[in-house]
Copies of this chain bind each other. A is one copy, B any other.
Amino acid sequence: MDLKENKNDLEIEDVFKTETNFRSLYGLTPEVENAISISIENNNKQELVKLISPLHPADQADMLERLTGEELVTAISLLGKALDPEVLVYLDQNVQEKVIDIIGPRALARAIPVLHSDDAVDILQELEEEERKVVIKQLPKADRILVEEALSFPEESAGRLMQREFLAFPSNWTVGQTIDHMRAKPQEEEDSFYSIYVVDPAHRLLGVISLSKLLSAKRPVRLKDLMATSPRSVNVQTDQEEVALLFQQYGLVDMPVIDNINRLLGVIIVDDIVDVINEEAEEDLQGLTGVSDLSISSSFIETVKGRFSWLILNMLTAILASSVIGLFQEEIEKLVALAVLMPIVASMGGNAGTQTVTVAVRALATRQLNYTNLQKFVLKETWVGLLNGLLFALLSALLAYLWFDDELIAIIMGLAMVANLLFAGILGTLIPLTLEKFKIDPAISSSVFLTTATDVIGFFTFLGLSAIVIL
C-alpha cells in the first residue's frame, strides 16, 4: 500500500471540502491557511501579520498548531510583538510549550498581564517550577500577587479556574447608581460578564443579580431588593469536576467562588467549564481505550512513548492469559479444536465486560451512580450478564457442534461462555467501584484489570472444563 499515492489522498480530502457550511463559519479557511503557509515560507513578515491578525485568537492558535517545528519558529519570530497574547490561551499544551520556549520568559511576562487572571494562571501552571519563578518575578506587582495566590489553590480546583475580574456592589446601592458606576468605567469588548454580585462591607457574598434582571429593573430599586439571595456558589478549593457537574446540573453560565468565610474571590465562566467537561470526557475515553494523549499534535516521540507504556501493560496481561493456555498444552495437542474455539470465549467476555465497565465509569464520573442505586446497578449488570451469557452459550454451543461435530465440546463451549459473560457483568461493575473506593481513577485502569480477568477466566473455564470432561 503506497501511502503517498496522491489520488487516494485527494479523495479523502474531498470529504472535508464538501463541508462548506461549517468551514464558512470558521475563520481559518483552507485559502487563508495556504496563504499564511506561503507567507511563512517566504519570510514575509508584513503579509503574515496582515493575514493572521484579523483572525480570532482561537483560529490563530489552530494555525500555529498545524505548523511543523521549523515553521513554528519562523512564524513566531516573524510575528514578534504582533503575536496576540490571547493566542497562548487557546494553544494545545504541546504547542504552547514550544511557543513559550521560542518567545522566552521576558516576552511571556509581558504577555501575562494582558490576559484574564484565569488564563494567566492556566498558562503559568503548565510551566516548569524554575521557569515559572523566573516569569512571575518579572510580572508587575499587582499581577504577581494575584497569580501567586491563584497558584496556592490546589490544581484542578475552582481557585485555578476562576477569574478575578468581576463587579461587586454594596446592597444598599440602587440600580441607577450601579448602572451609572458601570457607565463611568466602560468595559473592553472581551470582558463580557453576565452577573453582578452584592457584597457586605467585609466583601462577603450576599446575592447575585443577572444583567438581564438588572436591565429590566427600575432605577430607584435597591440591589438588596432585586438580588437572588443565597446564590449557588462554590468554595475555592472545590474540584473542577464537581464545579462542572454543578454547571451542567443547573444550566449555569457563571458561578461565584467564595472562601471558607463566604468572601467573594472570583467568578467562573461557562466557557472554561466547557473545556473541563471536554477534558473529563476525554480522560474517560483515553483510559478505556488505552491512549495516553488524544492530541494529534503530540510529537512523534511523545506518541511512541505514551502508546508504549500502555502496550507494555497489555503485553503483561496477554502473557498472563497465555500462561493459562500454557497449562493446558497437552489437552490442546490432543484436541486442536480447543485452540480454535478458545479465543471466541475470551473475546466475548472481554467485550461484554468492557460494555459494563464503560457504563459504570461514565455513571461514576457523572454521579449518576451513587450510594442509593449502587446495589441495584450491580444486580442489574449481573442479570444482564447471565441472560446474555445464556443466549450466547446457546449460539456458541451450536457453532461448536456444527464446526467440530462433537457434543461434548459444544456443551463445554456453552458452559464456558455463560461463566465468562456472567463474570464479565459482575467484574465490570465491581472493578470500577473498587478502584473508586481506593481513590484510583476507575476510567484509567478498569479496562486493563477487566480484560485480564475475562481472558484468564475465559481460557481457564474453557480449557479446564475440557481437561476434566473430555480428556
Contact = CB atoms under 8 A, between A and B. Distances in A.
A6 to B, nearest CB: 9
Copies in the complex: 2
B346 A308 contact: no
Contact of A372 (B30, B217, B354, B395): B30
Of A22, A250, A347, A382, the most chain B CB neighbours within 10 A belong to: A347
Interface string A371-397: 111110111101110011001100110
- Majority SS at the chain A contact face: helix
A181 to B, nearest CB: 10
A314 interface: yes
A322 B341 contact: yes
A294 interface: yes
Contacts of A325: 339-340, 343
Interface stretch (A69-77, A121-129, A274-282): A274-282
Nearest to A25: B246
Interface residues on A, range: 35 or more
Contact of A388 (B308, B348, B367, B378): B308
A284 B358 CA distance: 12
B359 A291 contact: yes
Given A25-B234, A343-B318, A191 B212 contact: yes
A213 B194 contact: no
B211 A211 contact: yes
Interface stretch (A44-52, A144-152, A329-337): A329-337
B289 A354 contact: yes
A258 to B, nearest CB: 11
B384 A304 contact: yes
B248 A274 contact: yes
B189 A347 contact: no
A13 interface: yes
- Top 4 nearest A-B pairs (CB, nearest first) are A251-B271, A281-B281, A339-B339, A211-B211
